[in-house]
Structure 1
Amino acid sequence: MFDTRPRDKKTHRRVFDTHPRDKKTHRRVFDTHPRDKKTRLRVFDTHSRDKKTHRRVFNTRPRDKKTRRRCSELR
């Protein structure tokens, strides 16, 4: 018999109630209706987030001196 356990719509990975996060991307994985896809992507987004503020953190590695200066000013 083939596996009938629920799967994630997007990645088609198995979804477990006990461990709702996807091991690879650490994204929450739930079997949802396609209509809820927008909200699902908004809520369980894969961006790395700041620990304190929980805001999205982007890769801000300075490429040159000018950018480095700008980054330090932003800090």
Structure 2
Amino acid sequence: MNDAKAGIYGGRGNNITAGVNWYANEHVRLMLDYSHAHIGDIPTSVPTGASFVNSPYGGPLCQDNNQPSLRG
């Protein structure tokens, strides 16, 4: 996502989610979910006409997020 007029210079994002439900009976359900997200390829140099850089630390922005959850 990019919006140069607003000062947003985006990159790429991917997300994979999987879930399994187990019904012990009509009143009890357990849900197991797993989500993996990756955000990367965000420019860290100041694009032409921009007054700031995306990363306050000056390094490349890349993040992986793994999130399991168990609900009942």
TM-score by length of 1: 0.19
**More strand per residue: 1 or 2?**
2
- Which structure exhibits the higher relative contact order, with contacts defined as CA atoms closer than 8 Å and separated by 6 or more residues? 2
**More helix per residue: 1 or 2?**
1
